[in-house]
Amino acid sequence: MICAGIDAGSRTLKVVLIEPDEVSIIAHGVRDQSIDQDALAGQLLHELLSQQGLRREDVGAIVATGYGRRLIHCADAVVTEVTCQGWGVRRRVPHAQAVVDIGGQDSKVLRLKPDGGVADFVMNDRCAAGTGRFLEVLATRLGLKLSALGDLAAGSRRAATISSMCVVFAETEIIGLLASGVAAEDIVAGVQAAVASRVVAMAGRNLPDPIVFTGGVALVPGMQTALQDALGKPVVVAPDPQLTCALGAAILASQRRGELRSSHR
């Protein structure tokens, strides 16, 4: 039977369906979060199953992860996003040694064990600096979409220095830079560098490589380069970087299928 992983993140909800061999992803979907995460998860799961000609009875087990994991009532178990991220990244990038995950509301850095488990991690979930929220504030201020930031930053000749450690004050700083005539591309490049430097300050520069970049921010053009510059090392963007956590949850669901189903009888 197939298994499912549901990542109820702070900004988006992701669902991944995998075959029993734990290798083949047969379907996946991403939706912006809503007030009712449980209903959204059920709807997306139903849509993905229907697209594959499957029914709810064909799902052997479901593991939920992410901030809203305890709100997903269709799940057979919940597992932290740190654990799921490790499993998902190792499946997509087998030799990964470290993970930098930058989402909408938090950032995490993981060091992996040889078996794909997590040796240790650090996490920032109390400040928007170093998260996707910083980039969203910038895009809104400039009247741009997040996807447009990378092309703009690519034209920068000298990245602006963003010194504020708080997004609220950084936005004021950005307004001041614009008013003083600093080019928008230099401000974007400066903010991307600031996000990357916040993550590196949290994790340190001695991360083992290969280093894999995941999370929604990994989809923002220019952020991979900014992170590489801050770390002084190559960084690989995971295939489908938004889905690695949900994939890890699905893998754990497959591994624990019999145990999970027995506990629900």
**Is there a domain that residue 213 lies in?**
yes
Could you tell me if 171 and 137 are in contact, meaning their C-beta atoms sit under 8 angstroms apart?
A: yes
Omega into 210 within 30° of 0, i.e. cis?
yes
CATH of the domain at 67: 3.30.420.40
**Is there a domain that residue 90 lies in?**
no
Rounded CA-CA distance 191/197 in Å is 10
Same domain, 136 and 45: no
What pTM, to 2 d.p., does this model score? 0.89
Burial 107-124 (b: 16+ CB within 10 A, else e): bbbbbbeeebebeebeeb
Q: What percent of the chain has pLDDT over 70?
A: 94
SS3 content of the chain, % helix, strand, coil (to 5): 45, 20, 35
Same domain, 138 and 233: yes
> What's the confidence (pLDDT) of residue 265?
41
Q: pLDDT class for 152, splitting at 50, 70, 90? A: confident
Counting the structural domains of the chain, the total is 2
Res 239 pLDDT > 60: yes
Q: pLDDT class for 263, splitting at 50, 70, 90? A: low
The strand pairing partners of 12, in sequence order, are 32
Same domain, 159 and 255: no
Same domain, 111 and 40: no
**Boundaries of domain holding 103:** 95-237
